[in-house]
Structure 1
Amino acid sequence: MPVSFNHTIIASKDREESARFYRALLEVDAAPSWGPFTNIQLSDGTLLQFAEPPVEIQMQHYAFLVDDALFDRAYQRLCADGITHWADPQMRRPGETNTGHGGRGVYFKDPSGHAIELITKPYL
C-alpha cells in the first residue's frame, strides 16, 4: 500500500468555530464526529479533527493546495470577513497575495491563531 496522509488533530480554542471556519474556507462538508473531536473531511479523504486541548495552543502551519476558482472564492471571503492576510510567511506584505512557484498564495490566521496558507501550485 502506498503511503498517504490520513488525519491530523488541530488544536482549537473552540472546535466548532474552527470546523465552521475551515468548512466555509475550503468548501467541504462536515464529517462524522466523535468524542472530543469535531471533524471535516477534505476531498482527498484526509480528516481534519478539531479538539480543545487542556494546554496552551502553540501555533502550527497548515498549507492547502486549492484550484484557482476556490482560491478566488476563499480570498473573497477573507477580504469580506476582514481577515488580515499577507503575501509572505513573515507577514511583511499585508493585504496582498503572492505569485510564487508559478501559482498564487496567501497567508492568514485561523480562529485559534494557526498560520494558514492557500496555494494554487505545489512547491515541488
Structure 2
Amino acid sequence: MSAHSAKGPPVAVELNHTVVYARDKRASAGFLAEVLGLEVGAPFGPFVPVDTGNRVTLDYYDAGDTPIMPSHYAFLVPDEEFETMIGRLERMGVTYYADPHHTEPGQINRLFGGRGAYFADPDGHNMEIMTRPYARP
C-alpha cells in the first residue's frame, strides 16, 4: 500500500535516529562532532550520540569484530558555516572531495546553486556536507 492513498494525505514521518557502526564509537562520534561543530552527547546505553539539531541523532555503536559496511551520510549545513567546516577538515588533515567517488581531492562542488564536499570518517563512511538540498522531481 502506498503512502499516497485515496484516504487522505500521506502520514508525516520523520527520521529520529540511526545507528552508525564504528571501531571506536567515541572517536568516530568526536570526529563528526568536530567537523560539524556539534557536541557529543552523554552515552545512552551502548550508544554515543551526536544530535544534528534537526531532531535526528546519529547513535555511534562499537561494531566489535563485525565488518563495517560503509554507508553514506549527507548533512545539509548553513551556507555561512561551510567554509568553517572545510577549514576544520583541513586542520584535521582530512582530505575532502567534490565527488562521492573521491576522485577530485581538495575540491568542492557547486550542485544546485550551493556548495558541497565529501570526506571519509575514521570507519570509511562517506560523509557529505552540502549547503543546498538536491532538487527532486
CA distance in 2, matches of 1:34, 1:67: 28
CA displacement 1:18-67 (0-9 Å, x = unmatched): 11111111222233322211112111111110001230001101000001
Q: What RMSD in Å do the two structures reach over aligned CA positions?
A: 1.3
Matched pairs, number: 124
Picking from 43, 47, 63, the partner of 1:37 is: 47
3-state secondary structure, aligned to 1:40: strand
CA distance in 2, matches of 1:14, 1:69: 31
Distance in 2 separating the partners of 1:22 and 1:112:
11
| Structure 2 unmatched runs, 5+ | 1-10
Structure 1 alignment gaps of length 5 or more = none
Identity score, percent: 37
Tell me how far apart the structure 1 counterparts of residues 31 and 119 of structure 2 sit (CA, whole Å): 12
The question of 1:109 aligning with 2:125 is answered no
Q: TM-score, normalised by structure 1?
A: 0.93
Q: Quick check: 1:80 aligned with 2:91?
A: yes
Summarize the alignment of residues 42-121 of structure 1 with structure 2, pairs less than 5 Å apart.
42-54=52-64, 55-121=66-132
Question: 1:116 corresponds to which letter in structure 2?
Answer: M
Does residue 22 in structure 1 map to residue 32 in structure 2?
Answer: yes
**Could you say which residue in structure 1 is the equivalent of 2:6?**
none
Return the alpha-carbon distance in structure 1 between the equivalents of residues 25 and 19 of structure 2: 11
TM-score of the pair, normalised by structure 2: 0.85
